[in-house]
Amino acid sequence: MGEHILTINAGSSSLKFALFTAGALDSVAVGMIDGLGTNPHFVLKDGSGQKIISDPLEGERAIDDHAGAMRLVLDAVAHHYPQAEIAAVGHRIVHGGMAHSAPVLVDEPILSQLSELVPLAPLHQPHNLSGIRAAQTAFPNVPQVACFDTAFHRAHPFVNDTFALPRSFYEEGVRRYGFHGLSYEYVTGKLAEIAPFHAKGRVIICHLGSGASMCAIRNGYSVASTMGFSALDGLPMGTRPGQIDPGVLLYLMDQKGMNAQEISDLLYKSSGLKGLSGISNDMRDLEASDHPHAKQAIDYFVFRVRREIGAMAAVLGGLDAVVFCGGIGENSRLIRECALEAMEWIGIELDLDRNRENTEVISSDRSRVRAFIIRTNEELMIARHTAWQLRAQQASTRRSDVYA
């Protein structure tokens, strides 16, 4: 089958992976294990989207953690594609800190640097790094490439990058990093293909999923993000609260006696849609529920999206397009409809029929601002970066051989 690139994308409760040809980056296989720790389900599809495996992983076969998921993924790839020669493995790394504004080949010093960032992304970074370790073991001497979710936002203006704290904290790295950068990078590129005029203008991308954020894009570059120092800020998410008054945290420490670990667990695991509803962290469950708390959780989520659309439009000085992506953004017509309802004041007029049909353009023909649904593809973005790093490494090796 020739050389291939494997991509690993570890989320807070999922593990996505994909297999591409190393040259043309044709999709060979894509898969996912979601519901880790609750109701794990394993899906593997071939490059055309045909299901090969759909396994609920029940009973003794249930997988509780990312380590077990990684073993299952590697076994499945080896079993179903035994002739695929893995030339490189690309990894989504949530936090790259100040040092990394582009993908890098992984070595021990890089791993050490990234390990120091675990406190800034405790829900993701440990799983990202364990994925690298597992891939190093499975594919020794194969290049491992780290692709950073924060890199896309590293050119933010100072005012969108800082907090109003003593300047020394900013210099030490206490600043707004932004996340979901690989998704934003892919969607921005895709928008340039389908609507080049709008892509050169003022765009808000809404990455709405279990993790949710929004990004203001001007001429293809990120200028602001709802997420900040950590992946807790901004919009409410599946289990994370989004924006919260820091005074609440002081209150929890002083009056409730909660320590740092208890507050961390509250913010990362028990808040957001799950905490508000008391029912589920999954928007699909909330939309299907008739419980008033489910409706209130949805209403709050939509309220924050609408609020941030206004804020991002102010940062951009106007708006030319809004794009929805991510699991909720791509699939929930209710959330899109509620988010864009009565938004004519900003130039958005939703076409209800197009929205219900999940068409690529969901705004009306009269709408001054164009509204899109673009299915994100972080795996392909990771594969592109990995292929570039692989070619650069191979070119460097050839040059070394010539001058040896």
Which value, in Å, is the radius of gyration of the alpha carbons in the chain?
21
Amino acid at position 47, single letter: G
Question: Residue 348 and residue 104: Cα distance in Å, rounded?
Answer: 40
Instruction: Please name the helix (run of DSSP H) or strand (run of DSSP E) that holds residue 112, with its range, or none.
Output: helix 108-115
Question: Residue 323 and residue 327: Cα distance in Å, rounded?
Answer: 13
Residue keyed to tokens 């994909």: 18
Rounded to a whole number of angstroms, the distance between the first and last alpha carbons of the chain is 32
How distant, in Å, are the alpha carbons of 12, 209, 285, 286, 329 from that of 279? Answer: 19, 17, 8, 7, 21
Q: Decide: 163 and 110 in contact? Cβ < 8 Å.
A: no
Q: Which of 34, 149, 161, 233 is catalytic?
A: 149
Question: Residue 2 and residue 90: Cα distance in Å, rounded?
Answer: 17
Whether 401 sits among the annotated catalytic residues: the reply is no
- Grouping H, G, I as helix, E, B as strand and the rest as coil, residue 87 is strand
How distant, in Å, are the alpha carbons of 201, 228, 260, 268, 363 from that of 234? Answer: 23, 8, 21, 13, 25
Question: Residue 114 and residue 125: Cα distance in Å, rounded?
Answer: 8
- Grouping H, G, I as helix, E, B as strand and the rest as coil, residue 386 is helix
Q: Decide: 151 and 100 in contact? Cβ < 8 Å.
A: yes
What pairing do the DSSP bridges indicate for beta strands 85-93 and 144-148? Answer: parallel
Question: Residue 321 and residue 218: Cα distance in Å, rounded?
Answer: 11
One-character DSSP codes across 325-378: EHHHHHH-HHHHHHHHTT-GGGT--B-HHHHHTT-SB-B-TT-SSEEEE----H
Q: Which residues are catalytic?
A: 149
